[in-house]
Structure 1
Amino acid sequence: MDQHLFLFGGSPPFGRIHGKQFASLCNQKNGHVAIFCLNRKGWQTYMPKYQHILEEEGVTDFRYYLLEETNSIRSEKITGIIICGGDTLSYHHYIVTKRVGEEIKQLFQEGVPIAGFSAGALICSEYCMVSPSDYKGDKLMILNGLGILQDYIIAAHYSKWNEKQNLLAVMTETKTEKGLGLDDEASVYLKNGHIESLEGKNVHIEKGWSFE
């Protein structure tokens, strides 16, 4: 079963190219697109930003999963997953460390496409990089991620937060040879762990060295 991952460096919307590709992978006859987000004031008014490109491409059934209240999605009929942006540490806590994270990973392995925006992108790799700019801290953090993407470290808001040195540091620490620096209006589509297409400005591909 092919696996499909869309990573965005900033906030929604989808770009036209990747929105169309994501929509085409969602079998609307057999289920709905799940949007995972934090329960923050005004979250309902923000959801159309994630949806409108997909709606123009024929996706009509969306359901929202507030992470603080979602323990399991085992019985849900989900044909596409969107992991929203926001506080990375909160997304990590409510997805990566909980059962729902394993269930998301299983759906991904079964071919359900996943789109992650900013924090939603960061938690997808084997190691999740949390920049000091992300949580107003003074220390670069490396956490275990979902692991649905191997061999890459992800950095969101790459140019805006001047993340190159942080990305290279995490690549070195984790012995990961490749890094993806995603600017706010950039996205990448990976099929079976390999880059298929890029969209927007700009995707920075950093390469380390071979680790013995």
Structure 2
Amino acid sequence: MKGSTHLFLFGSGPPFTTNLGEEFKGLVEGSKIAVLYIEREGSADYLPLYTDCLGISDSEIYYLPLRNEYSSEDLAALKESDAVIIGGGDTVLYRRFIVETSVGEVVRNLFEEGRPLAGFSAGALISPEKCVISPNDNVQEVQLFEKGLGLLLDAVVSAHYLEWEEEVNLKAAVQGTEVTKGYGIAENSGIYLKNGRLSDIEGYIHIEN
């Protein structure tokens, strides 16, 4: 059964901004939260930043390290989640390990069922139908236009908007994808979209039409 959709997008890594964190927490019906992340040095110390503000025990958090292939146990655990958080890091790798994989399919189904989803930086960038990766965010140092998760239609996202001086890149992303708008989200800032419509913002947000 499909419900209202709830998408929280942030312009940098964790933690949640204060008000949007409270809104996300209030939407989680249950307490099982999946955190999708790419393992790297210091991950164990960093991961709690995603969930500390939600007030749930570690036993209720399912940490799924992203990779090329997933087991049936991975997918079964993900399907039981009441909410999903997609972490930040290498956007090219996040897209490769999620968007066109079995995990991406599960995430889309959960989202369409009304489970809230939060994306931080890379997680935010891969969420729209069209994923645009900044020249500042890939080794080729060119703007990349790729397929996204499809959780947000007719819009693109730019993370680290102020810090990476993304004004020109966001304009090019909107024009290149022919979407109606682009959301430029600064660090320590975020947006909440309910049913694809902007419902709340926190911090610095630029909307490019």
Considering the TM-score relative to the shorter chain, is it more than 0.5? yes
Deviations 1:101-159 (A, max 9, x none): 01100100001100000000000001111111112433111001001100111000011
Q: Indicate conservation of the 8 Å contact 1:71/1:100, yes or no.
A: no
CA distance in 1, matches of 2:71, 2:92: 18
Task: Pick closer, same or farther for the CA change 1:66–1:2 going to 2, 3 Å.
Answer: same
Partner of 1:210: none
| TM-score of the superposed pair, with normalisation by structure 1 | 0.91
- Give the aligned partner of residue 24 of structure 2: 22
**1:157, 1:108 → 2: CA distance?**
25
Letter in 1 for 2:65: L
CA distance in structure 1 between the partners assigned to 2:43 and 2:28 by the alignment: 23
Quick one: which amino acid aligns to residue 51 of structure 1? T
Q: Unaligned regions of 5+ residues in structure 1, if any?
A: 208-212
Q: State the partner residue of 2:11.
A: 9
Runs of 4+ in 1 over 2 A off after TM superposition: 69-76
Correspondences of 1:55-204 after superposition (within 5 Å): 55=55, 59-60=56-57, 61-68=60-67, 70-71=70-71, 73-76=74-77, 77-200=80-203, 202-204=204-206
User: For 1:24-69, what per-residue CA distance to the aligned partner results, in whole angstroms no more than 9, with x for missing partners?
Assistant: 11122xx5100000021221110111111111xxx33211000116
The aligned residue for residue 34 of structure 1 is 34
Quote the sequence identity (%): 40
Which letter maps to 1:97?
A: E
Deviation at 1:75, TM superposition (A): 2.2
Aligned 8 A contact 1:5 1:114 in 2:
yes
Secondary structure of 2:123's aligned partner: helix
**Whole-Å separation in 2 of the counterparts to 1:90 and 1:157:** 18
**How many aligned positions are there?**
201
Contact 2:12 2:121 survives alignment (8 Å): yes
CA distance, structure 2, for counterparts of residue 106 and residue 64 of structure 1 = 19
Instruction: Spell out, residue by residue over 1:146-194, the C-alpha distance to the aligned partner (whole angstroms, 9 max, x if none).
Output: 0110011100001111111111112111111100000011100000000
TM-score when normalising by structure 2:
0.92
Question: d(CA) in 2 for partners of 1:173 and 1:165?
Answer: 12
SS at match of 1:5: strand
2:82 match: secondary structure: strand
1:71 to partner: Cα distance: 4.6
How much does 1:70 deviate?
Answer: 3.5
